[in-house]
Chains A and B, each alone.
Chain A
Amino acid sequence: MKTYFSLRSHIAGALGLSLLVPAFALAQIDSSVINNTAAAVNAAGSASAQANTPVRTSAQVQVSASTTVSTAVMTRAKTKADTEIDRRIKALGDLNTRVQAMTKITADFKTNLNTNIQNQISGLTALKAKIDADTEGSVLKTDVQSVTSSYRIFALVMPQARIAAAADREATIINMMAALGAKLQARVQATQAAGADITAVNTALVDMGNKLQSAQTHAQAAVSGSATLTPDKGEKTLMAANDAALKTARAEIKSAQTDLVAARKDVDTILKGLRTISAAAAASSTVQTQ
């Protein structure tokens, strides 16, 4: 009978890969946006100036209107930036809660994930405070654009850590099912020793071992292929490579999940088979007694 006790070895060490600490990238100021905004403000100012010519000078009205429009634009920009930053901070906080619950990765890897997430949260919190305090349009523009540019880091860290969390869960399930498989194996061996035909349950038991082995390989590949990716900082080649690596890692997680679902079905097959053998033996015993 094929055994699979080797599957009980923990993959924690193998999952212990480190992530690099990301850094926020500052966006370049888009000068065309500034020019367009200024043109719009000046046009509004001129219109107001014509209506108020008897009381105020054209220059005074233009400055006043320009300030009003500029304040409204800044307020709207701040609100949108704050909303996006809050959304990311919440997502990162939820992710960190999940990371803290991971049990099969190494302490170092867990610390790295935690550090990366905390750095992101700290950076976003500081950015939000700065945006809220900004009074100059040009400075606000730079800060708001860094909300967009920093998304590339967020878009990398989130799936990276989510993949690690799923792989950690898969490692836990593999451990559980391997231990359960050992119990089932003991029951099957006892049934065989009693003279029963165990062919069907043994087939399921061997398949279960193979599926767990395959799941472990896929889970490990998912972490190995995604944990060391670094932020692309706008570099298109690296961006494409990161996307491809993350998609491959996601596929590995799903393959491992498929294996685990199949292994779980094998458990049902074995339990059902053992019950059938037990019932048949009991019926045979009853007939002999009568």
Chain B
Amino acid sequence: MKWLIGLVLVVVAGAGLWWSGLLNQYLPTAKPQVAQQTATTTPQQQTTPAPINDLPTQTSDTSDAAMAQDTAAVDAQMQGLQNDSASIDQSFNDKATAQEY
């Protein structure tokens, strides 16, 4: 019987403390969780940039027209690469003009 009274007293004391707000500082609240979530979400967004699409059409557009545009854009870059490659050769073959004195 004594243990039952003791248990009731403990429950009543606990309820009183909770009601008074004294236990709030030891209990987790929703507010910090939100703040923490925000803090972890922001850097994730910053470190995962969207992949750059170098094609002239949307990456999801698989139509014949889109792929014709894409291949034309690739061909233009390939032509540019040929020019770049020729420029490298030119820089290798460059000679300084002989100076007097």
Contact = CB atoms under 8 A, between A and B. Distances in A.
B100 to A, nearest CB: 4
Main SS class of interface, A: helix
B54 A162 contact: no
A162 B101 contact: no
Nearest to A79: B100
B96 A159 contact: no
Contacts of A144: 99-101
A83 interface: yes
A19 B99 CA distance: 29
B97 interface: yes
Interface stretch (B8-16, B36-44, B78-86): B78-86
A83 B98 CA distance: 11
B67 interface: yes
Contacts of B71: 180, 267, 271
B94 A10 contact: no
Interface residues of A, number: 55
B85 A183 contact: no
B99 A173 contact: no
Contacts of A154: 96
Contacts of B67: 180, 183-184, 271
A254 B62 CA distance: 31
Nearest to B81: A169
B78 to A, nearest CB: 6
Interface string B63-97: 00011001101110110111011011101101011
Interface in B34-63: 51-55, 59, 61-62
A162 B85 CA distance: 8
A271 B85 CA distance: 28
Given A140-B101, A264-B78, A179 B59 contact: yes
Contacts of A4: none
A260 B85 CA distance: 13
Given A10-B52, A182-B59, A183-B67, A177 B74 contact: yes
Contacts of B88: 159, 162-163, 166, 250, 253
Given A77-B101, A183-B70, A271-B67, A176 B96 contact: no
A180 B72 CA distance: 11
Interface string A146-166: 011001001100110011011
A165 B83 CA distance: 11
Interface of B: 51-55, 59, 61-62, 66-67, 70-71, 73-75, 77-78, 80-82, 84-85, 87-89, 91-92, 94, 96-101
13 contacts: A10-B52, A33-B101, A37-B101, A77-B100, A98-B87, A154-B96, A159-B88, A169-B84, A175-B52, A180-B74, A183-B61, A186-B62, A247-B92
In order of increasing CB-CB distance, the 9 nearest A-B pairs are A166-B84, A158-B91, A151-B96, A84-B97, A159-B91, A77-B100, A77-B101, A176-B54, A144-B101
